[in-house]
Homo-oligomer: A and B are copies of this chain.
Amino acid sequence: MEERYFEDLKVGDRFKSGTYNVTEEEIISFAGEFDPQPFHLDTAVARQTMFKELIASGWHTAAITMRLFVQMLNCAEGAIGLGVDELRWPNAVKPNDVLQVEVEIVDLRESRSKPSHGVVRLRYVTTNQRGDIVQTMFASALVLRRNK
């Protein structure tokens, strides 16, 4: 796949990622390292919570979303994250969910501080295999300009 530069992107462009299978083992391992709360760590305990089963940390969902995004957009020299707004987890991610990300470019502007780069604003929607939305957010990133 060819690398993308800032000039290759247009407002309204949409991109759909590949898919990612989330395993129970992975949910527990991520939570053990970064979000050691009972409903992310132990299936028996999780059954007694409002979720009724083991759920992934929202930060795990966010990290998987990033992985799917990087592989999808393939920006030359990468996309440098500046910030994220309105990050929401409307439905929990559970073992054996298959996640997919769709992004839409909502704004493009030159970078004042880094003339070699442009600033891309994206809307992300992460869904599971049933089409339930598990995460939404807006994020801005620096992307390299061509011949700069």
Contacts and interface: CB of A to CB of B under 8 A. Distances in A.
A81 B58 contact: yes
A35 interface: yes
A30 B67 CA distance: 11
Contact of A85 (B49, B71, B85): B85
A23 to B, nearest CB: 13
B81 A89 contact: yes
A70 B87 CA distance: 19
B89 A86 contact: no
Interface string A27-47: 000100111111100000000
A63 B34 contact: yes
A114 interface: yes
Contacts of A114: 50
Given A83-B89, A85-B87, 9 more contacts: A30-B63, A35-B67, A50-B80, A59-B59, A59-B66, A62-B62, A83-B87, A85-B85, A85-B86
27 contacts: A30-B63, A33-B63, A33-B67, A34-B63, A34-B67, A35-B70, A36-B67, A37-B78, A38-B77, A38-B78, A39-B80, A50-B80, A57-B81, A58-B81, A59-B62, A62-B62, A63-B63, A81-B89, A82-B88, A82-B89, A83-B86, A83-B87, A84-B84, A84-B87, A85-B85, A85-B86, A85-B87
